[in-house]
Structure 1
């Protein structure tokens, strides 16, 4: 690839485990879920977007359903810290193994 043609990166996303003290429950289709994972995306304008995923509190696998992340300062801090950490890890990559 020539140095003047930058690759077209179509997505930058990371998955982050939500620490237990920050987890919450939400309901979808009459089923309660405990939210345990964040999927954080870097949008083209440089802002972050996040969705939460989890498992049914009653057990089982349930469905793969996304939930809105509540507007809580501690979750916003987790998202920002995770994105910064991912950037550090990406910038320190050592190429294909």
Structure 2
């Protein structure tokens, strides 16, 4: 283990968060409508958060991994913040390779 933990370069921190059904929305891409069900939240180098939404086609079938912008809604911002706090607590309490 490096003597100085600050010298370890971490390139990314990201979490995946399920969107509760009550907060889900639909959006269109390439002529298909998607129900957004998951958020991918990244911790940026400046300490800020960035999020993208992912989902499944409403009509069913397969689809590629397509990202969508997260709408500027207070309840989604609260979900992202709560998920980041929860993830931070989980990381802090890690047991290494237990």
Global fold match (TM > 0.5): yes
The equivalent residue for 2:59 is 58
Structure 2: distance between partners of 1:89 and 1:44: 20
Measure, in 2, the Cα distance between the counterparts of 1:75 and 1:67: 14
Within 5 A, what are the aligned runs for 1:1-97? Answer: 1-3=2-4, 6-97=7-98
Could you tell me how far 1:95 is from its partner in structure 2? 1.0
Give the gaps of 5 or more residues in structure 1: none
Where does the alignment leave 5 or more consecutive residues of structure 2 unmatched?
none
What RMSD in Å do the two structures reach over aligned CA positions? 1.1
Alpha-carbon distance in structure 1 between the residues aligned to 2:6 and 2:42: 24
* Deviation at residue 44 of structure 1 after TM alignment: 0.2
Aligned residues: 97
Partner secondary structure for residue 32 of structure 1: strand
Change in Cα spacing, 1:8 to 1:31, as seen in structure 2 (3 Å) is same
- TM-score between the two structures when normalised by the length of structure 2: 0.95
Match of 1:39, SS state, is strand
> What TM-score do you get using the length of structure 1 for normalisation?
0.96
